[in-house]
Structure 1
Amino acid sequence: MQALRRIVRTALVAGIVTGLCFAPVLAGDLDAHAGWTLEQGVDLPSYALIEPRSRNLNLDALVLACEPANDHRILQLQLYLTNDGPLMPDGVAAGRAKHDPRAEIVIDDQVFPVGLLFAEDHVVLSDETREMFPRLSERLLDAIEQGTTMQLRFDLVAEPTGEPAAFDGEAVIDLQAGPAQMRGAAVAAVRRCATGAAPQSVAFASPRR
């Protein structure tokens, strides 16, 4: 699971820069029945990972991530893939990707249209922006924290001329999987990360010649 290994490497680098000691979860330790897995070894987790219960596309894992955005922090839902991408339904060639993909998140009986942003090694889902930074709204975060089942629906493949747009990719996430004490608690923990100011960037002195 290359995507999760990238997350582990990122966490280790961050730990070196900030002086924290991380013990991140390795990819092989995750499964769809484990529920959310929090960042380990820190007082205030900055991410939680979960694996879909089922999916028909190259989605490896979801990460609820607390990211710096100027002088504050935001929460994003980041999708990491099983390969180098693009995000596509199983068995569909990358050349059939549509130019205007769309997505929605369905949690129990609530529907949230979301935008897709394709980053270097992951895909970001968001339903609002703050100062041009894509983020999750409080309403959507409440639903993720308190909900039972989350469905991610995607319209990724270009339809033949004359046919209406339709969702062609889906992933189902069991938000209540795992130990009872972690249900909702992991999401709440990452949400606390976004309540403080973003950390100051670290300045490195140039080596003397």
Structure 2
Amino acid sequence: MGVGGEHVIFGSEALGKVIKHTLPGFYGRIMDETKLLDPRTFQNKPRLMMRAALPSEYLRRWAVMDDVFGMTTHYLGKVTGSDREPQMAVEQPFIPEDENLPATLEDAAEFFTAHGFERVADEHIINPEVHGVTWYRQRDGILVTDAHARNFRRDLDGVIIPVDLVIALVPPGASVLLPETARLWEPAEED
């Protein structure tokens, strides 16, 4: 078991799966564009900022992870922790990795570039903890942050797999900072 910034994590290689419970009363984070006062100019300035996610935004994040990046994530339902606060539970496959060759930030950058993303300039982002790890894909308005090396795995075949990214959708016309979304992401049709 482990505890991260958003989840309590259970699971193992023997089980072949990882189960994540959100922290009590919390559904992860999401990045949004907002206007903040610039103290130097006394003008409102658009910036990207992390905030607490709504339950629907948390679930959409996993739908995008599955559809766009191939990380199969199943919603298991709502659970109640010992403090009686609601939590959401999801399940992912356990990804065995070579502990001597973990994923790096360079691997993450190559991964996003190969998937058509561009890095978002740090000057647009309020939260310093996500500087350098925020990416945007204009063609479908997918904004990804928290793309730290710890949120990727290099499987035993050397394939880089994202396991826990913070994902938001940017509808056309919703941003003045990011390039105009061509067509908003929609989930793939199931056969």
TM-score (norm 2): 0.31
Larger RCO (CA within 8 A; separation ≥ 6): 1
**TM-score for both structures, normalised by structure 1:** 0.29
